[in-house]
Each structure stands twice: as C-alpha cells, then as structure tokens.
Amino acid sequence: MVKPRVLVTRRWPAAVEARLSEQFDAQLNLSDKPLAPEDLRAALRKYDAILPTVTDKIGAPALEVDKPQTRILANYGVGYSHIDLEQAGRQGIVVTNTPDVLSECTADLAMTLMLMVARRAGEGERELRAGRWTGWRPTHLVGTKVTGKTLGIVGYGRIGQEMAKRAHHGFGMRILAYNLHPVAPEVLARCDATQVDSIDELLPQCDFVSLHCPGGEANRHLINAHRLNLMRPNAYLINTARGEVIDEMALSHALSFESIGGAALDVFDGEPNINPTLKNSGRLVMLPHLGSATREAREAMGFRVLDNLEDFFAGRDPRDRVN
Ligand SMILES: O=CC(=O)O
C-alpha cells in the first residue's frame, strides 16, 4: 500500500520523527526554519497531510489553493487560532489538534510565571547576574505573598482547571472562574471554585488573573484598557494562552502608570517580535512561549498527532478533529 505523503513543518522530538518516518512517506524539516507562505501553498498541492505548528500562519489566503492534495492539517499543539478553520472546511480539509497531553505542563508554567512575578524572581536573577546584588536586607526585592490569595481564571477548560488544581490544593488559593459556557458543578467543586458571569465581575475581586482561553479573533484584546482598569492596583496578570488576548499597548500603559502590580507573559501578539514598550517594564516577566516545553509533553503531542493521522488514513474520524 502506498504510504500517505506527510510534511512536518518544524523539527519534532526524535522518537516521534522516527515513528512518523516508519509509518508515512514523511518529509521532515531538518533546517527547523518556519515555512514561507509560498512553500506552504506549494505543500498544499503536494502532500496528503501537513503537520503544522503555531508558527505556521494558515489563514484563508494560504488555503486558497485550487484542488489541494492535502486532506488533513494535523496541528502539533492545542491552540489552532493560526489556522482558518472555515476556509479549511470549505476546501474539505480536516483539522486536528493535541489537547490533554500538555495541560499539566502548561499549568505548571503558568504557576511558574505567577510565582516569578509575585516574588520578583526575574528582577532578582537579572540583578545577581549583572553583579548588582549587595547582600540580604529586609527591604530588598520585597514581593507579594501568593498563598491564600484569590486567583481568577479566564477560560476554565483543561488547562484552566489544572491551574486551579495547583493553586487551590498547593497554595490554598480561592478560585474564581470565568468561562464562556457553564462549568459543571462537580468540576467547580474539585477546587471549590466559583463561576462568575462576566470578566468584568471577575477582575476587581482577584489578586492574580490567569488567562487560559483560546486566542483568535473572538478573543482579540479580551483584556483591554477598560478591563485592566478593573484590576486591583496590586494585582498580577498571567498569560500562557495567546498573545492577541491582551492589548499589549494598554498593558504597557497599565504597567508604566502602576495601575496593576505586574504581569507575566509566555505569549505575545506577533511573536517572536516583542512590542518594544513591553521591554521597558521591570514588573513584567517574559518567557519565550515555553508553556508545553517539556520532553514529556512535546513527545506526547507528537504521538497524539500520529494517533490523529492513523485514524484519518484508516477512514475513522480523528479523535481531536476541531472542524
Ligand atoms: O501554544 C502551544 C499550543 O497551542 O499547544
């Protein structure tokens, strides 16, 4: 039987690349450079499956290819706001993602950011490495206690719930949840969480706010100047979701005018380019999109893509189909 032709757009963990090459006629990307838009369009005419990541912008123009050969975009990653699902659907292309397997690690990283920004860990490390540390003193880099505070979670899905678990059971935090749809009472009860009806109602009650909603146009600038103003002046904002969810100019202003306590971001609008105004703030922790970056999660994500491909090419509906 002829093996399906599969294009992998970035380097993947070695064990997954090896399995892919056994099972499929796989074209790996040994240079690990993101595909140019014209290469992507050419690939849609050539490969049965393309396995993209968040660095491949597959909007409507990229998908406007006459009679594509590609029948599935099996995304490596849970977020898929970089793919135009409607246009893919119109072209008869199935789209899948990799949920579940990265939820714990992404929540671990959101906790890392929350602790770093509250305890001024980034500032401390920068000071020490620059040789500016003059020794212990009672007033040095005094931060904010995390244990027992109130955490607002925007998007109470798989990752949001993992974040709540860590914060509530590990740090005794009170959990407030905002979610587009009602959350089942038994799910809220696991962390003694209270669901609120709107983000505007959530923000003024929180010491920390962590974003776990999808990106994309629907949630662009969900956190804007008006909502930053609703946050407490000493509250912290954490984003491991997608950069576009925050209006970064409004965040820069809020940080410069100290209308919030600080922020910690793993994702940026237009990443890897960073809005230069963000770099001016000492009270901002920034990481380069590391949410799922553990050996365990990255392998599991790759194997989950393989599961989706196996289902698809065996004529079954892939378990992680999103369109
Ligand atoms: O950001 C990474 C992902 O969506 O999996």
Q: Where are the domains of the chain?
A: 5-101+295-313, 103-286
Instruction: Establish whether 41 is a catalytic residue.
Output: no
C-alpha–C-alpha distance, residues 99 and 84, integer Å: 18
C-alpha–C-alpha distance, residues 231 and 228, integer Å: 5
Which residue minimizes the CA distance to atom 3 of ligand 1?
Answer: 77
211, 239 contact by CB (below 8 A): yes
Q: Is the pLDDT of residue 185 over 90?
A: yes
pLDDT number for residue 219 = 98
Q: Is the pLDDT of residue 71 over 90?
A: yes
Q: Which pair of structure tokens corresponds to residue 124?
A: 């401390």
Atom of ligand 1 nearest to the CA of 80: 4
CB atoms within 10 A of CB 252: 19
Q: Is the CB of residue 78 below 6 angstroms from any atom belonging to ligand 1?
A: yes
Catalytic residue among 168, 271, 299, 321: 271
ipTM: 0.93
Instruction: Establish whether 71 is a catalytic residue.
Output: no
Q: Is the CB of residue 102 below 6 angstroms from any atom belonging to ligand 1?
A: yes
Q: Is the CB of residue 77 below 6 angstroms from any atom belonging to ligand 1?
A: yes
Cα radius of gyration rounded to whole Å, the chain:
21
State in Å: Cα 150 to ligand 1 middle: 26
pLDDT tens for each residue of 218-254: 999 999 999 999 999 999 999 999 999 999 999 999 9
Q: What is the CATH number of domain 103-286?
A: 3.40.50.720
**103-286 shares the fold of 5-101+295-313:** yes
As beta bridge partners, residue 321 has 96
State mean pLDDT over 8-19.
98
Residue 167: DSSP 8-state: I
175, 193 contact by CB (below 8 A): yes
State mean pLDDT over 177-189.
98
For 104, what's the count of Cα atoms within 13 Å in the CB-facing half-sphere? 8
Q: Is the pLDDT of residue 113 over 90?
A: yes
pLDDT number for residue 129 = 98
Strands 236-239 and 208-211: parallel
In a mutational test of the pocket of ligand 1, which residue from 292, 299, 308 has the highest number of ligand atoms less than 8 Å from its CB?
A: 292
CATH 3.40.50.300 is held by the domain 5-101+295-313: no
State in Å: Cα 105 to ligand 1 middle: 11
Global confidence as pTM: 0.97
Q: Is the CB of residue 54 below 6 angstroms from any atom belonging to ligand 1?
A: yes
Which residue minimizes the CA distance to atom 4 of ligand 1?
Answer: 79
- pLDDT more than 90, % of the chain: 97
pLDDT number for residue 99 = 98
pLDDT number for residue 145 = 98
Instruction: Establish whether 271 is a catalytic residue.
Output: yes
Which residue minimizes the CA distance to atom 5 of ligand 1?
Answer: 77
Which residue, 123, 167, 144, is CA-closest to 234?
Answer: 144
Beta strands in 130-261 (DSSP E): 150-154, 174-178, 194-196, 208-211, 236-239
Residues in the chain: 323
3-state secondary structure of 2: coil
